[in-house]
Amino acid sequence: MSGIQTDGKPLALLIPGLDGTGRLFYRQLEALGVRYRVCPWSYGPETDFDLHDLARKLGEATAEEKPGSILIVGESFGGLVALDYVLLYPERVQRLVLENAFPCYRRRLRARLAHALIPLLLLGVGQRIKDFVVDRTLRQEGILVEDRRLLQEAMRHINLGAYRRRLELIRKVDLRPHLPQITVPTVLLASGRDKLVPSIREAHFMASQIPNARVYEFPEAGHALLLTPGISLADYV
């Protein structure tokens, strides 16, 4: 990740999904930057880690922030990391935002299949098939051609070993019993056409367990909500 700057504004820490790059938050930076020091997080290349390791790295990077000041945003898999961070460091957080996230990935068979198919990404034909499917899905969800290109480019920079480990965590982690412990104000953003996560169902489940949570639904949006034209995180924080 890039260094966390200090200029007097509170910190907005944006935690990415499985891609792990933080590059796909770029549409949100300008509007959030009016009120926050915006830091899109990127995971390291390590392949031996658990969820607590990821959250504790965030904890080390934010140890000097003022209590109760941090905006934490977790996208998809990043929602698990964001939830764990809030459970470990609740005194640091001002607000939690979860976008198309889940406390437990219930489509375990799909996660196992994705994990098994990772070696195909090393082959040219596998890469081309993935690019075609991803581009077609994003186009159907209304993502603009330039954003589709940038997403595909970000995915080509993924460390496959670390990516595989993140997929393993999706199959194992279950934070559902801990949701009632989260007391910070929480915003849940959920897409109606998300093909990877049943986002609206998961958002309402989390809202039923987190004491101070609110759900916003986007019926026509897909999984890449923050790349959808007209969607601004700043409007919800």
- Which of the four pLDDT bands, split at 50, 70 and 90, describes residue 2? very low
Half-sphere exposure of 160 (CA within 13 A, CB side): 12
End-to-end CA distance of the chain: 23
Q: Look at the domain 11-236 and name its fold.
A: Rossmann fold (3.40.50)
- Which of the four pLDDT bands, split at 50, 70 and 90, describes residue 143? confident
User: Residue 112 in 3-state DSSP?
Assistant: helix
pLDDT at res. 123 = 42
Helical residues (DSSP H) of 62-198, grouped into ranges: 77-88, 108-117, 124-140, 145-155, 160-172
Domain boundaries, the chain: 11-236
Residue 225 has pLDDT above 80, yes or no: yes
CA 158 to chain CA centroid, nearest Å:
15
Residue 48 has pLDDT above 90, yes or no: yes
pLDDT at res. 39 = 97
Nearest to 166 by CA among 124, 134, 226, 118: 118
What is the phi/psi pair of residue 97, to 5°? -120, 130
pLDDT at res. 145 = 84
**Of 155 and 197, more confident:** 197
Residue 125 has pLDDT above 50, yes or no: no
Residue 44 has pLDDT above 60, yes or no: yes
Percent of the chain having pLDDT more than 90?
A: 65
5-14, 15-24, 86-95 — which is least confidently predicted?
Answer: 5-14
Rounded to the nearest 5 degrees, what angle is found at the Cα of 179, between the Cα atoms of 89 and 28? 65
pLDDT at res. 151 = 74
- Which of the four pLDDT bands, split at 50, 70 and 90, describes residue 24? confident
Residue 68 has pLDDT above 90, yes or no: yes
Amino acid, single-letter form, for residue 183 = T
pLDDT at res. 69 = 97
Which residue shows structure tokens 């300008």? 30
Query: Looking at residues 188-215, what average pLDDT do you find?
Result: 96
What is the phi/psi pair of residue 213, to 5°? -125, 150
Work out the mean pLDDT of the chain and round it to a whole number.
87
Helical residues (DSSP H) of 159-219, grouped into ranges: 160-172, 199-209
pLDDT in tens, 147-196: 787 777 777 777 888 988 998 999 899 999 999 999 999 999 999 999 88
pLDDT at res. 139 = 72
User: Judging by beta carbons within 10 Å of its beta carbon (0-12, 13-18, 19+), is residue 87 exposed, middle or buried?
Assistant: middle
Q: 38: which strand partners?
A: 12
